[in-house]
Chain A
């Protein structure tokens, strides 16, 4: 095979994204859900970089970097919340976090 094409890159990105979504919807442990979210973000990053390579502009790289920064902030705050949750309820199982139940 010769050089990589855009489609394969997007295919990989799509697969990773789907894996992430499945993880979010399926797993009971909150932390694993968070990790699945990170997986989704990475998939998106891959897509941006792929398009950037295709077009020759570095904008995709910049976006990927910004996404990384946002993911970092989100992880920090999210994990702080997880710690608080654990402190108050001693549980990080998704099916026990049902106070929105109406």
Chain B
């Protein structure tokens, strides 16, 4: 099976899971669907040669962020949403149409433009494309040092902020 077949497969899984996220009633079900979507995306990243990002996707998104989500859902003991959230708002209905349209349109484009804008052949990619060394070099040696440090500061702030917010008493 070629790359394209795998790509199509995983794309469908991702899109299907995404639809499930926004459609299902039960928040736990939505969370699980989202995890599935993340896994599918990770596979797509690997197909595109972004191995490091693929691993991080699983570790960070599926492994940490979604755990947090599930944890909070369980903590708050959320129930199913009542049924009236979909039908009565025309703006939202409009958006649904837009979404569906884009869905269909996107699939059509995907189907018809496979022969155009093809990626360069894998041999033409740099040897270490997508590896940890390449990304690491860009992060630390290249021009992404400052954003990297800034984001780490951001993470610190986020941690502290979350703790401060959620504590009952300081």
Touch test A–B (CB under 8 Å): yes
Q: What residues make up the interface of A, taking CB atoms closer than 8 Å to B?
A: 1-9, 11-12, 14-16, 18-23, 25-29, 31-32, 34-36, 38-39, 42, 45-46, 49-50, 52-54, 56, 58-62, 64-66, 68-77, 79-84, 86, 92-93
Q: Is the CB of B166 within 8 A of A84?
A: yes
Majority secondary structure, A binding face: helix
How many chain-B residues does the 8 Å CB contact rule pick out?
93
Q: Give 1 or 0 for each of B131-157: 1 = CB within 8 Å of chain A CB.
A: 000110011001010011001101101
Is A84 touching B139 in the complex (CB atoms < 8 A)? Answer: no
Whether the Cβ atoms of B154 and A73 lie closer than 8 Å is yes
For residue A75, give the distance in angstroms from its CB to the closest CB of chain B: 5
Measured between beta carbons, the chain A residues less than 8 angstroms from B65 are 38, 71-72, 75
**Cβ–Cβ < 8 Å partners of A23 in chain B:** 21-22
What number of A-B contacts does a CB cutoff of 8 Å give? 261
Question: Given contacts A69-B151, A84-B166, is CB(A8)–CB(B7) below 8 Å?
Answer: yes
- Asked if residues A5 and B72 are in contact (CB atoms below 8 Å), the reply is no
Q: Are A61 and B22 in contact (CB under 8 A)?
A: no
Contact B72 A58 (CB under 8 A): no
Do A5 and B117 contact each other (CB < 8 Å), given the known contacts A64-B53, A75-B69? yes
| Complex: A15 Cα to B21 Cα, angstroms | 14
Chain A min CB distance to B86 (Å) = 7
Q: Which of A16, A53, A66 contacts B15 (CB 8 A)?
A: A16
Q: A4-B47, A12-B110, A68-B60 are in contact. List 9 more A-B contacts (CB 8 A).
A: A8-B110, A11-B106, A26-B85, A35-B34, A53-B119, A69-B155, A76-B68, A79-B69, A79-B162
Give bound CA distance, A15 to B60, whole Å.
Answer: 23
Which residues from chain B contact A64 at a C-beta distance below 8 Å?
50, 53
User: Does A46 contact B86, Cβ atoms closer than 8 Å?
Assistant: no
**A28 near B50: Cβ-Cβ < 8 Å:** no
